[in-house]
Structure 1
């Protein structure tokens, strides 16, 4: 029995493969860069697949915040504590997961646009080159957190019309105090900022909101994707809710650089199931 996971900062999608049957689960996000090993162990212990008592032989965990061996070790140790040392645990960062879901055993430039953002050149076997994402404070261009930050900045600094600003604040139950508390006082400010993209999507017909999204994608492309020399020779693919829900604007941004035939998927987990079934 094999357990697969696509772990982001906001949520983790799980698939349990038993023979020809695949079962789906979801838990809150797991990112060792943001939460402690103790919290991760608690999340795993409370997961439905754990409570159901399945006899799991192998785990493949793809997750955010796993760029270092130390971070991967935290995930490894957490699974050992919950499932025992007899289980084979394979830990990779979410870029490998995205690349395998998008391209299988073929080369391509894999991108993630979710709560955070990331990118890499994948040669069909592993990540060969990667521009550092740098997180939601220093980087993460085009991500949900980045979009949310741009949106509230424009909203509170009067970049929008007074009528539009007042309408959004009133109808979405937002205030400056509430926004500042969500960013500076409450845990997981990146998740809070990313959650504001749901409001942006509601008002995407507003030209200024649309321009904010377009500019954010332009920043992601110019600071990340376009810096890979392989861009001329291979396909580009995107995974993540931001890429999925704002796909039209993303494709428009890509078209400016003559990048076409782009694959966009909301979540990589089911394509990862296909990859692992095909390669094992």
Structure 2
């Protein structure tokens, strides 16, 4: 099984090559026997995704990368953002590549572990988009609430202890004030910090790590021979006859 972790931006420019290599090592440790899991970066995209605008800006580069991964024979891809930006669009581009969103996979997993889950998201600017995301997943009635950690994505790894303290504060508000009984990390930087481990110990409730949820969900789908329904995600009509995503873009002066 050949899988990719598709980052919808060149994060080596915003996070540095050392962090990218660290994440590659984490991914290698998650892959099951007989599975390769490669980190790949889109050629363009925002430095981090902390708003609806940045979500939309990340989609074109990711869509072109989906084309490349499919052409190179990959079986599936995890979209490397917990907000699942453009997940439906990427599934339209793919003809057989299975694409899993960490957010969607986490919500589905969390709904089996308790009655009401809460999502811990990086900033106040991502609270609204997270509510919209859960609604699209069909699990809005299982959502207790969304709590902001209020740490910029690019700063989360600067002081791991301080970051975990802020995450725990947000988590306790979600449990005590919102009535959540399961927690979901709504950020891939928190996922790669493995904040779920200490948070579960501190709070005594299940904490779903979107990275683990997405990778294992993807492995299960590919192993089962399942693909996205093209009735649900039909290929865009303008991409018939071998046309690529880049052909959809009009440019003045071209």
Q: Which of 1 and 2 has greater Rg?
A: 1
TM-score interval, normalised by the smaller of the two chains: 0.3 to 0.5
Q: Which has the higher strand share?
A: 1
Q: Please give the TM-score of this superposition, normalised by the length of structure 1.
A: 0.44
**TM-score by structure 2 length?**
0.47
Q: Which has the higher contact order (CA 8 A, sep 6+)?
A: 2
